[in-house]
Amino acid sequence: MHTELDLAIMRRHVDCSRLLIRAGAFSRVFAGPMCEQLLHRLLLLGDGIAAELLLRNEANQVHVNKVLLDITKNMKYPDSCTFTFAGYHNPMAQHLYECVICHQTVCLVCSYKCHRTSPWKHSVQHKHHLVYVGRVKGYCGCHKVCVCARVHFCEILFFSLPCE
């Protein structure tokens, strides 16, 4: 049977997951690899508290690994496309997706935000479809089709000047 946290993971409701984890929720159906992705997502988001609680509960079957440590060490800005620290010249091992519509590799952060698959098949928003590739070395190409990474660079490096 699905736990509350399992349902939040299934629907990719990351804010919901954060609240549930703080309230002591754990995963059953999605323990292991899916929880591991959630752990990466929480750290990329900058939520160290939820990440630690998720790690501590043995039911979730998640462990710290080298990929996670490398990401934590290299990330610069919370909740931003991983292209901000892992670009063409320095690809990093991370959870990556591929969009079958625009043929781009998409990072974990973008898979939740700018590049997410719409659950509503008939919506006009249904323009991306992601397939999980794995925890592999690479970089996010999402910025080629949207402005996620570029906007972020502008905000940080150019003090919020408009990005053309």
Q: Distance from first CA to last CA of the chain, Å, rounded?
A: 49
43-51, 56-64, 87-95, 145-153 -> range binding Zn ion (CB under 5 A): 145-153
Does residue 114 bind Zn ion (CB under 5 A)?
yes
Of residues 53 and 86, the one with the C-beta less far from Zn ion: 86
Collapsing DSSP to helix, strand or coil, 107 comes out as strand
Query: What is the size of the binding site for Zn ion (CB under 5 A)?
Result: 12
| 75 contributes a contact to Zn ion by CB under 5 A | no
Question: In this structure, what DSSP letter does residue 57 have?
Answer: -
Are 99 and 144 spatial neighbours (Cβ–Cβ below 8 Å)?
no
CA–CA dist 66, 51 (Å, integer):
16
Binding segment (CB under 5 A) for Zn ion, from list 29-37, 56-64, 138-146, 151-159 = 138-146
Backbone angles phi, psi at 37, to 5 degrees: -65, -40
Does position 140 interact with Zn ion (CB under 5 A)? The reply is: yes
Q: Residue 31 interacts with Zn ion (CB under 5 A)?
A: no
